[in-house]
Amino acid sequence: MTTRGTPVRCAWAGDDPLMIAYHDDEWGVPQHDDRALFELLTLEGAQAGLSWTTILRKREGYQKAFADFDAAKVARYSPDRVDRVVLDPGVVRHRGKIESTVANARAVLAIRRDHGSLDAYLWDLIGGPAQHAFRSSADLPASTDASEVTSRELKRHGFSFVGPTTMYAFMQAAGFVNDHVTTCFRWRELGGTKKR
């Protein structure tokens, strides 16, 4: 759908070129790469209490600080390395969130050992992609039964900063659900169909 040649997007994309690119190219696209899934888990956890724009502006800093989200490398971070990341202005300098990323990397490795890949584990656990038909961003839930189950299961595996609301944002970002609104051009491109 377009308005005078401009595609209609979800309102949250606003007019920031970085947010528009993220909305148009990434958000809601089913993700099956372990590195990218670990990145999204990390960024969604880091976003808690902050705007997504803030996190997107620091994304390159996160990629540098966390070895391009190579879980095997991040899992080996020493306390000294964590201290250096805490001082890095390229990331949100919250010690708990940074230590969580290292612990979560170790949990990713355990899941790979037990389930083959983070991708296989998450898609088996969550299912999807689920197709929703919300007319407005105001209609989107903050969490769902599926995000609560996912949160609980990831915590059981040793993950942190994966509460139900964070997990629903992760599910939206990684394409486990299609939560583009029905007027957004991406909703149909990602498989949205109106119920009859």
Identity of the residue numbered 180 = H
Name residues whose C-beta falls within 8 Å of residue 79's C-beta, 6 or more positions apart in sequence.
none
> Does 27 qualify as catalytic in the annotation?
no
Catalytic residue among 12, 26, 39, 44, which? Answer: 44
Q: Does residue 16 sit within a domain?
A: no
What's the domain count of the chain? 1
Look-up: residue for tokens 């070129």?
17
Containing 3, the helix (H) or strand (E) segment is: strand 2-3
Catalytic residue among 22, 77, 123, 168, which? Answer: 22
Nearest to 92 by CA among 38, 51, 151: 51
pLDDT at 6 over 50: yes
Contact 58, 92 (CB under 8 A): yes
Structure confidence at residue 4 (pLDDT): 59
Q: Does residue 36 sit within a domain?
A: yes
Q: Residue 59 is part of which domain span? A: 29-189
Q: Does residue 153 sit within a domain?
A: yes
Structure confidence at residue 5 (pLDDT): 66
Q: Does residue 63 sit within a domain?
A: yes
User: How far is it, in rounded angstroms, from Cα 118 to Cα 38?
Assistant: 8
| DSSP per-residue letters across 116-147 | S-HHHHHHHHH---EE---SSGGGS-S--HHH
Q: Does residue 22 sit within a domain?
A: no
Q: Does residue 158 sit within a domain?
A: yes
pLDDT at 17 over 90: yes
pLDDT at 21 over 90: yes
What integer best gives the mean pLDDT of the chain? 94
Structure confidence at residue 13 (pLDDT): 96
Find the CATH number of the domain harbouring 123: 1.10.340.30
pLDDT at 196 over 50: no
Structure confidence at residue 129 (pLDDT): 87
Q: Residue 1 — very low, low, confident or very high, per pLDDT cuts 50/70/90?
A: low
Contact 177, 129 (CB under 8 A): yes
Q: Does residue 13 sit within a domain?
A: no
Catalytic residue among 26, 52, 99, 148, which? Answer: 52
Q: What is the pLDDT of residues 116-173, one digit of tens each?
A: 999 999 999 999 888 888 998 889 999 999 999 999 999 999 999 999 999 999 999 9
Containing 170, the helix (H) or strand (E) segment is: helix 164-173
> Does 62 qualify as catalytic in the annotation?
no
Q: Does residue 131 sit within a domain?
A: yes
Nearest to 142 by CA among 172, 123, 168, 118: 168
